[in-house]
Structure formats: structure tokens, C-alpha cells
Chain A
Amino acid sequence: MTVVDLPLANTLTVQSNGKSTKNKLSMVIFSGDMDKILAAFIIATGAAASGMEVTMFFTFWGLKAIQKSGVITGKGLFGRMLGMMNRGGLDAIGPSRLNMGGMGRWMFKLMMKQKGVASLPELYEMAVDLGVKMMPCQMSMDVMEIDPQLFQDNVEPPVGVAAFIEEAAESKATLFI
């Protein structure tokens, strides 16, 4: 009878593709709604302040959150229409419910200000300050005809799904918002 030597040490650390898990949070930001983006940035800044490395992957409507204010995206007719009807920038996005043509956005902003909740632009700045990494999705940018130059200055070059999976695979926590 032979004694099998179990590599116990290796079973104790979580490994993925030869890499061990980092104290890291990876987030997919799919929504472009003000309330969901607010939740995303609260979690991102909170995690960064707790010593975690944070990566946010922005895709589809989520791209509206990292777009500069006051720019209109789109190249062709449909892309231009999409850009006009769905303005980007943290000041232009509305809540997922009860927006009522911008009235809801105005009301929520006012109520948050009265209660002393940090505004979205303030939270965004905080996230940048804390070193939160933001990556846009190349494919959605192509579909929606969004030029990478229209993103905020801190935003990393566009990436694809494999880049996000690489980040997610070495993370302790992953969120889809």
C-alpha cells in the first residue's frame, strides 16, 4: 500500500487559474439609473475605504454614468437619436422609478441634499480619489456609438468580457447592478 501525499497547503487557499483570491471587489454596472448608480458608488467607495481593491465594469446603460456631462453621443441617425433621448453624465440620469420627465430626478436630488447625503458627482470624485478602477465595455460602446473620448478622464481604456472575468476571478466579491 502506498501512502498518498496530499498537497494540503494548496487546498487551503482559494485559487483560480493559478492566482489566489485578492481582497478585491468587482462590479458590473449595467444600469444607468440614478438610484442604482448611487447604490453602486456607495458600495464601491465603502469597499475602497475598507481597504479593498475595487474594479467597476460599465456596460450598456451603465456607460451613461461615466460619460462627461453635456455631450451627445452617437454617429449615425439611430446612434444620435439614442444619445439625444438618453443623455449621459451624472447630472442627467434619472431614477429607475417615478422620474416623470425629470421631476423625479429633481425631487430626489433635493431630498438627498436636504438630508445631507453626498451627491452622485461627489461620490464619483470620492471613488476616483480612493483609487476605484473604472473600465468601459467596448462592445456596448460600439453598439451605442459612444466615443471613448466622451468619458471622464479617470476611465480606463475600453475592455471586453475576458478582461472583466480576469478581474472577477481573482475577487472575493462580485456584484451586478
Chain B
Amino acid sequence: MSTQTTGMVLDLKGLLCPMPVIKLAKAIKDIPVGEIIEAFATDPGVMADIPAWCRTTGNELVTLEKIDKQFRFVVRRVK
């Protein structure tokens, strides 16, 4: 686990495509540039979708990991 301060924690558990990406896109507008969002999801699709979303939008993917049956990821707002 990283030690950086979390701007926001997002619960995406139980949501399937396209909701994790849409909720993330909405939530990132509510935090200042440079801050991070920590999110938890259960949809295995996030392993491909979150990195792709970060590449498309230019935000930084700090961490993406699978913990048991859950997925945890941290995204930093770049712009």
C-alpha cells in the first residue's frame, strides 16, 4: 500500500461495464489537479478499462492491483 494522501475513495463494487469508467470520469472532476482517487471494484473488466481510460484522458494510473476477488486502483488527476 502506498502512503500518499487520498483525495477521494470511490466504491465501484458490484458495478459492471461501463459504470466503473463513468463513475470515475465523473468523480475525477470533483478533485483538484494533482490529487488522487482510490477506487475499489469487483468487475474484472477494470483491469483493461482503467489503464485504457487513463491513456485516453491523459490521467495517471498510479496503482492497479487485484486483491482476492477485488480490484483496487489509484488514479491521479493530471489535467
What is the interface of chain A, defined by CB distance below 8 A to chain B?
Answer: 42, 45-46, 48-51, 115-118, 123, 126, 130
- The reply to whether B22 and A49 form a contact with Cβ atoms under 8 Å apart is yes
Per-residue CB contact flags for chain B residues 18-50 toward chain A (1 = under 8 Å, else 0) read: 110110111000000000000000000000000
Tell me how far the C-beta of A132 lies from the nearest C-beta in chain B, rounded to whole angstroms: 12
Q: Give B residues with C-beta under 8 Å from A.
A: 14-19, 21-22, 24-26, 53, 56-57
**B18 nearest in chain A by CB position:** A46
* A110: min CB distance to chain B, Å: 15
Question: In this complex, what residue of B is CB-closest to A46?
Answer: B18
How far, in angstroms, from A50 to B54 measured CA to CA in the complex?
A: 8
Indicate the member of A42, A46, A116, A130 with the most B CB atoms within 10 Å: A46
List residues of chain A with CB within 8 A of the CB of B19.
118
Residues of chain B with a CB closer than 8 A to A49's CB: 18, 21-22, 24-26, 53
The interface residues of chain B lying within 8 Å CB-to-CB of A123 are 18
Kindly name the residue among A49, A51, A118 whose own CB sees the greatest number of chain B CB atoms within 10 A. A49
Residues on A with C-beta less than 8 A from B18 are: 42, 45-46, 49, 118, 123
Q: A46-B22, A126-B22 are in contact. Are A51 and B56 (CB under 8 A)?
A: yes
Q: Give 6 A-B pairs besides A48-B25, A49-B24, A50-B53 with Cβ atoms closer than 8 angstroms.
A: A45-B22, A49-B53, A50-B56, A115-B16, A123-B18, A130-B22
